Amino acid sequence: MALIIGNSCLHWGLLSCEGVEFIWDTDYISPGDVHQLLNSPTLEGLLSHILPSSFPKSFCLPTSLFLASVVPSQTLYWQNNPNVKILNLEQVPLHGLYITLGIDRALALWGAGNKWRFPILVIDGGTALTYTGADANHTLVGGAILPGLGLQLASLGKKTGQLPYVIPPESLPQRYELSTQTAIQSGVIYTLISGVKDFVESWWEDFPESSVVITGGDCRLLYNYLQIQYPVIAKRLHIDRNLIFVGMKKIIFNNCNS
């Protein structure tokens, strides 16, 4: 079993040598509840409290929980249990990783490179929108970080006196809108996907044959917008919402060929 502690919620995944078998998300668990769960004598006892009703009955519960976290305050609640194994940057077989690089970015990059070959660029559309690239030698080229789609939209509602909080639309809005809500959507989305286009084109100038993968919670929305506005670029992109789990699987089951 794998757990990714993200900036917005907990992401759970059941992994096997063959791949990512089942995933689900939950809200953060309070420190008291985590303590109670971790006092369960077995991992099965711990997981029985958080498994969704849709969890397949045919799956056997694992004996270990592998954790990757970008929220240190949350990591503290999980780390003192013998059934919990915390992954760190030293376990990701990429070169040139810097000490403050998020483990989520490193795992997604490793998973993408193994799935689509190196060089590779990963665009992670989560709470933060990140770009992370590696060359053919499995060496980190670098990346960039900016507020993600939802965070940009939410910031206007929180930091202004009259602008409303809006959610991302399913389809690309008109560029010039006639209401405050849709004008906010237009401004944020067109600026964001123009930035995606610029980063991708710049990457392809340096690595013309490289694959580019979009992952994260907003990956499908971003891809939909790009399909409408920049269809030539979108046609070359891959989508894998579970890319961090793919990277975790490659490390946990390092003797697998799949």
DSSP string for 73-92: HHHHHHSS-TTEEE--GGGS
Positive or negative torsion for Cα 82, 83, 87, 93: positive
- What one-character DSSP code corresponds to residue 208? T
The one catalytic residue in 27, 104, 124, 206 is 104
Among this protein's residues, is 104 annotated catalytic?
A: yes
Contact between 46 and 58 under an 8 Å Cβ cutoff? The reply is no
Q: Report the candidate in 21, 23, 18, 19 with the shortest Cα–Cα distance to residue 6.
A: 23
Q: Which residue has the tokens 């990059």?
A: 109
Query: Dihedral (C-alpha) 200, 242, 19, 65: value to the nearest 10 degrees?
Result: 130
Catalytic machinery residues? 104
